Chain A
Amino acid sequence: MATTIAKPELLVGKRLRRREDPRLITGTATYVDDIKMPGMLYAVIVRSPHAAASIKSMDVSKAAQHPGVAAVFTGKDTEKVGPVPCGSSLPGLRVPHHYILAPERVYFVGHPVAVVVATDRYVAKDAADLIEIDWDVRGAVADPEKAIADGAPPVHPQWPDNKAFTHHQEGGDVDKAFAEADVIVKQRITSQRLIPTAMETRGVVAEWRAADRQLNLYSSTQIPHLMRSLVAQMLGLEENRLRVVTPEVGGGFGSKLNVYAEEALMGFVAMKLGKPVKWIESRRENFLCTIHGRGHVDYYEVAAKKDGTITGIKLLIIQDLGAYHQLLTPAIPTLSVLMMPGLYKTANIRADIIGAFTNCVPTDAYRGAGRPEATHGIERMVDILAAELKMDPVEIRLKNFIQKEDFPFPTATGLTYDTGDYSLPLKKALGMVGYEKLRAEQAEKRKKGELMGIGISTYGEICAFGPSPATPAGGWESATVKIDPSGKVTVMTGCSPHGQGEETTFAQIAADELGIDIDDILVLHGDTAIVQYGIGTFGSRATAVGGTALYFALQDLKAKIKKFGAFLLESDDATLAGGVVTCNKTGASKTLQEIAGATYRAMKLPANTEPGLIATHFWEPTNFTFPFGAHIVVSDIDRETGGITIRRYIAVDDCGNILNPLIVDGQVHGGVAQGLGQALWEEAVYDESGQLVTGEMTDYVLPRAHMMPWIESDHTTTPTPVNPLGVKGVGEAGTIGCSPAMVNSVVDALSPLGVRHIDMPMTPEKIWRLVQGASSQEPVARMGERL
């Protein structure tokens, strides 16, 4: 049976259903917790109930003697393992030593102090309850602004000011811009701590094969190769003796773009006991101990001319870092600074970051990672400025947009925006929503005292991380394509997807390039023993960087196929198309299958040509990509309850060329859900003593089906010149575009009451208070304005 049929129809751009789905919809996919090994033990971790304390004494004897318990380890046993790595470097950054189990002092609720290993998870839990710890509780601080104020309890005693770093960046002449401004608007804007809540919690299975000196680590992660390098270091194991496998990964959103204590800890336990061991994070642990996102307090000032031209932006970010740096913790707010001008031309910026230690779990990358905060800030400020100048929010945006002919555009923050036409998605979105008519309706409603809002955000984001010099661990991505003797194709990608559908999109790319049936292509990822070194899936990079690596590997392979085919045909003028090499003179042809077989049998080889058909390409991008778009939210507010009803949600995104519209829509929907989550419902709340009040799903409100509006999504297409696929990335766009549109909508609705800013989440209670405050003739509540 011929493997390769001439296949003229191109798959890139088609709404194909996904190739990874059969295992997901039948319940036969393998996630970490589905792995079972002979003799496997279960680990339960004992954690601090206090945000700041010292261990006076710990008695593990009862736990150790409990029937079924194999071992108990404490911080004293694991002192030499680690530390948990921080991958970002900023000048003068203070990096506390992050033990995998705290030997003496704990710094946040959930800080691990011991691990109990037993024959089953119920027994391990029983035994964990028998550990007795005498604590010396200290003063804690959970609020970043309070942490950096005088007299706050020091999180780490060696740094009493609680400042991990300060960062300053400046472009243009800000002082002049502010001195010459017609108007200056100021606002304090918060972007609250969020809990990423991947539906699959983290989990690790470690298996030590002593005779082979081989550690197999199964982990739910976005970065198998980086994890391998870092965990090997933590354990003092040679890197080639560690294999990291990411089985099916049940969501990450940045929370699994990390290396945590538990990966090294399970490796340590498996090596000590010589038995496989499994640890699965409980949901409560997930809320307490997996990184949180956001955690910004931002102070904005914007200078402008009377006609609405923005001339300068000042920004002070107080970043709640938590007690430690996880992999990228301190780097996240620097991304906010890079994107602070948004889509606007402003040449003059000044930004300062104060990284504040708090007695909370570390913050780190969560969907958008620094860019949602930046977009939220600038898009709110533009609306505040428009209100001040009594301009329409559309008009002020169009006035300040970087224009189509300005690209590549050097920003005041040192980036070069690749390409754009920012009015395109805005105009499309306005058309979809029927803007003029809605404004007329709103004017009518206002006369009757009804509260209706139209909120716009025009966002830009930085994606496809990225050139290596600008990223902590290499910004390239890798791909290998193998063609077997039978002509079947295997693609191995260094990015490790977890729901983004690359088994489908990458197969689409390969099918088109090789001109073969998509069913002849298998995409593999997420196993360091099979796949060449790679970076991972995050920062909307997999398709733009990993897909491009694949594209180039395919070009190398195509050149070899063509050369071999021509050789077999004894032709000096041949073409490769549709999986067939044809001699242009004689019309004779060889299929890919015939050529593949010949390259392996290697009876005759063209000069200077190796047998086999395999190509690996490591692709290093020259720039990031900068997708953009416009989101519009139409909302109605209930005066009696403070309830917000979203009447319309429009999302027009420009992510460049689209490989699979079905998957792109899914990414936008999911992104918007997380953006609305932040705007309306979600907030990680710590009390004064550092207890996480929202420590369970009961208290942390996640978007559910009945809470979500229908999302009307559409696209404009401005391909990037940065990669030959013209793709820019879309994984985070929905989240980034969403929250400012939502807040702008509600502020617009309440603007007749004098409201000009509302901090998130906009709970009904908050809205109700604003409405009540206004109707009881009290001075207008200007929430959050403390500058």
Chain B
Amino acid sequence: MNINLKINGKTHSDDVEPRLLLIHYLREVVGLTGPHVGCETSLCGACTVECDGKAVKSCTMFAVQADGANVTTIEGLAVDGKLHAMQEAFWNEHGAQCGFCTPGMIMASKQILDRNPHPTDEEIRMGLEGNVCRCTGYQHIVNAVRAAAKAGA
């Protein structure tokens, strides 16, 4: 099946098998390996990307379902080499250790602030419910989201 979509501002047109997952399309066809596969069963959030402004787990979507969509991956966040405020906050607050969950975490964190620019700690934690990090214990991630909110991300 042929799909046409925008990824990080660029138009892509590809022939894909109907069963190809969006995460595999992004990683293997488009070559964007920032989103990761941590479970393939929609439980870890490592594959989180933005699809038409909404954070989605790209392992739960087929590539064909993204036909016509506007997709942003972690690679598309920094503009002209300038980090997105959420990326900067993850760096400053040590929100990443091994980094494997990080692209998904940053996309999910960005979504929290897109919906609610001034979340409480509890709202941040609830907003991250779908993303697993095995390294950080989440505290520095919460700090990062808080810092990004303060910076007006």
Contact = CB atoms under 8 A, between A and B. Distances in A.
Contacts of A711: 137, 139
A67 to B, nearest CB: 14
B7 to A, nearest CB: 13
B71 to A, nearest CB: 13
Contacts of A28: 34, 75
Interface string B95-119: 0111111110010000000000000
A250 B137 contact: no
A200 B38 contact: yes
Contacts of A20: 99
Interface in B96-153: 96-103, 106, 121-122, 124-126, 128-129, 131-142
A283 B39 contact: yes
A665 B140 contact: yes
Given A27-B103, A31-B36, A21 B91 contact: yes
B43 A697 contact: yes
A68 to B, nearest CB: 12
A25 interface: yes
- Majority secondary structure, A binding face: loop
B96 A704 contact: no
A167 B38 CA distance: 39
Contact of A666 (B75, B102, B124, B140): B140
B102 A705 contact: no
Contacts of B19: 122
Contacts of B129: 704-706
A706 B128 CA distance: 7
Contacts of A21: 90-91, 96, 99
A33 interface: yes
Interface in B43-77: 43-44, 46, 73-75, 77
Given A17-B92, A197-B134, A199-B38, A30 B33 contact: yes
B33 A34 contact: yes
A662 interface: yes
Contact of A696 (B41, B75, B133): B41
A352 interface: no
Contacts of B125: 705-706, 708
Nearest to B77: A26
B135 to A, nearest CB: 5
Contact of A199 (B28, B46, B87): B46
Nearest to B84: A25
Contacts of B100: 31, 198-200, 248, 250-251
Q: How large is the interface on B (under 10, 10 to 19, 20 to 34, 35 or more residues)?
A: 35 or more
A200 B41 contact: no
A497 to B, nearest CB: 9
B3 interface: no
B32 interface: yes
B98 A200 contact: yes
A27 to B, nearest CB: 2
Contact of A662 (B46, B87, B94): B94
A251 B135 contact: yes
Contact of A22 (B27, B31, B33, B91): B91
Interface string A701-722: 0111110101100000000000
Given A200-B38, A704-B132, A706-B128, A666 B94 contact: yes
Contact of B38 (A283, A670, A734): A283
Given A27-B75, A28-B75, A698-B41, A669 B132 contact: no
B66 to A, nearest CB: 18
Interface string B15-29: 001011000000110
A122 B97 contact: no
B94 A200 contact: no
A36 B43 CA distance: 26
A283 B41 contact: yes
Interface stretch (A92-100, A145-153, A498-506, A581-589): A498-506
A705 B138 contact: yes
B90 A25 contact: yes
Interface string A1-31: 0000000000000000110111111111111
Given A17-B91, A283-B38, A666-B94, A706 B126 contact: yes
15 contacts: A21-B90, A25-B91, A25-B106, A26-B34, A36-B31, A199-B133, A248-B99, A250-B98, A251-B135, A283-B38, A674-B134, A697-B43, A703-B137, A704-B131, A708-B137
Given A250-B36, A251-B98, A704-B128, 20 more contacts: A20-B99, A21-B96, A21-B99, A25-B99, A26-B78, A27-B33, A199-B132, A200-B36, A248-B100, A251-B134, A283-B38, A283-B41, A501-B97, A666-B94, A670-B97, A671-B137, A673-B137, A674-B134, A705-B141, A708-B139
Interface of B: 17, 19-20, 27-28, 31-41, 43-44, 46, 73-75, 77-78, 83, 87, 90-92, 94, 96-103, 106, 121-122, 124-126, 128-129, 131-142
